[in-house]
Chains A and B, each alone.
Chain A
Amino acid sequence: MKALLKMPGFAIGFIMAFAFVLAALISFFWLPYAVDGVDIANKMQAPSWSNWFGTDQYGRDILSMIMMGGRTSIAVAIVAVGIGVGLGVPLGLAAAARKGGLLDEIIMRGNDLIFAFPALLIAILITAVLGASALNAIIAIGIFNIPVFARLSRGAALSLWTRDFVLAARVAGKGRVRISFEHILPNITNLLIVQGTIQFSLGILAEAALSYIGLGAQPPIPSWGRMLADSQTLVSLAPHLALFPGAAIVLTVLGLNLMGDALRDHFDPKTRRERQ
Chain B
Amino acid sequence: MLRFTLKRLFSLALSLIAASVVIFFGIEIIPGDAARLMLGINATQDAVDALRVQLGLDQSMVARYFDWASGLLRGDFGTSYTYRVPVAEMMQGRVWVSLPLALYALLLSTLIAFPIGIIAAARRGSWADWLVMGGTQLGVAIPNFWFAMIMVQILALKYQFFTAGGFPGWEDPALALKALTLPAFALALPQASILARVMRSSLLDTLSEDFMRTARAKGRSRRGALVNHALRNAMIPVLTIIGLQFSFLIAGAIIIERIFFLPGLGSMIFTAIRQRDLIVVESAVMLLVFAVIIVTFLVDITYALVDPRLRRRR
A residues in contact (CB < 8 Å) with B: 109, 112-113, 116-121, 124-125, 128-129, 201, 205, 208-209, 212-213, 225, 228, 232, 235-236, 239, 242, 246, 249-251, 253-254, 257-258
Q: When the two chains form their complex, are residues A250 and B19 in contact, meaning their CB atoms are under 8 A apart?
A: no
**Partner of B255 from A120, A235, A257 at Cβ < 8 Å:** A120
Answer whether A118 and B251 are a contact pair too, CB < 8 Å, given A113-B22, A213-B258, A242-B149: yes
B153 interface residue per 8 A CB criterion? yes
Q: Is the CB of A118 within 8 A of B273?
A: no
Main secondary structure of the interface of A (DSSP, over half): helix
How far apart are the CA atoms of A109 and B10 in the complex, in Å?
14
Closest to B290 in A: A116
How far apart are the CA atoms of A255 and B142 in the complex, in Å?
12
Among residues of B, the one whose C-beta sits closest to the C-beta of A127 is B273
A129 to B27 Cα, complex, angstroms: 7
Q: Which residues of A contact B247 (CB under 8 A)?
A: 116-119
- Chain A residues whose C-beta falls within 8 Å of the C-beta of B73 in the assembled complex: none
Residue B43, interface by CB 8 Å: no
Residue of B22, B146, B157 with highest tally of chain A CB at under 10 A:
B146
Which residues of chain A have C-beta atoms less than 8 A from B26's C-beta? 125, 129
Residues of B within 8 A of A246 (CB): 142-143, 146, 149-150
Of the stretches B108-116, B220-228, B232-240, B281-289, the one at the interface is B281-289
Inter-subunit contact B143/A249 (CB<8 Å)? yes
Chain B neighbourhood of A124, CB < 8 A: 251, 254, 269
Give the docked Cα–Cα distance between A109 and B22 (Å). Answer: 13
Chain B residue with Cβ nearest A201: B141
Neighbouring B residues of A242 by C-beta, 8 Å: 146, 149-150
Q: Is the CB of B137 closer than 8 A to any CB of chain A?
A: yes
CB distance from A107 to the nearest CB of B (A): 14
Min distance, Cβ A256 to any Cβ of chain B, angstroms = 9
Select the residue from A128, A236, A242 with max chain B CB neighbours within 10 A.
A128
Give the distance in Å from the alpha carbon of A118 to the alpha carbon of B98 in the complex: 14
Task: List B residues 122-172 near A (Cβ within 8 Å).
Answer: 137-138, 140-143, 145-146, 149-150, 153, 157
> Does A118 contact B248, Cβ atoms closer than 8 Å?
yes
A229 and chain B: residue at smallest CB distance: B145
Bound together, the chains give a CA A125 to CA B248 distance in angstroms of 15
Task: For the A-B complex with A117-B19, A212-B143 known, give 5 more contacts whose Cβ atoms are closer than 8 Å.
Answer: A116-B19, A119-B247, A213-B255, A228-B145, A236-B157
Are B251 and A120 in contact, with the CB atoms below 8 A? Answer: yes
Q: Across the interface, do A257 and B141 meet the contact criterion of CB distance under 8 Å?
A: yes
A116 touches B258 (CB 8 A): no
Residues in B neighbouring A120, C-beta threshold 8 A = 248, 251-252, 254-255
On whether the beta carbons of B251 and A121 are closer than 8 Å, the reply is: yes
User: What is the minimal beta-carbon distance from A254 to any residue of chain B, in angstroms?
Assistant: 4
Q: Which residues of B contact A239 (CB under 8 A)?
A: 153
Residues of B within 8 A of A253 (CB): 140-141
> A249 contacts which chain B residues (CB < 8 A)?
141, 143, 146
A124 to B288, CA, bound (A): 14
The residues of B that contact A113 with a CB separation of less than 8 Å are 15, 18-19, 22
| Cα separation A119 to B206 with both chains bound (whole Å) | 32
Q: Which B residues, 1 to 34, have Cβ-Cβ distances below 8 Å to chain A?
A: 15, 18-19, 22, 26-27, 29-30
B145, B150, B157, B252: which has the most chain A beta carbons within 10 Å?
B145
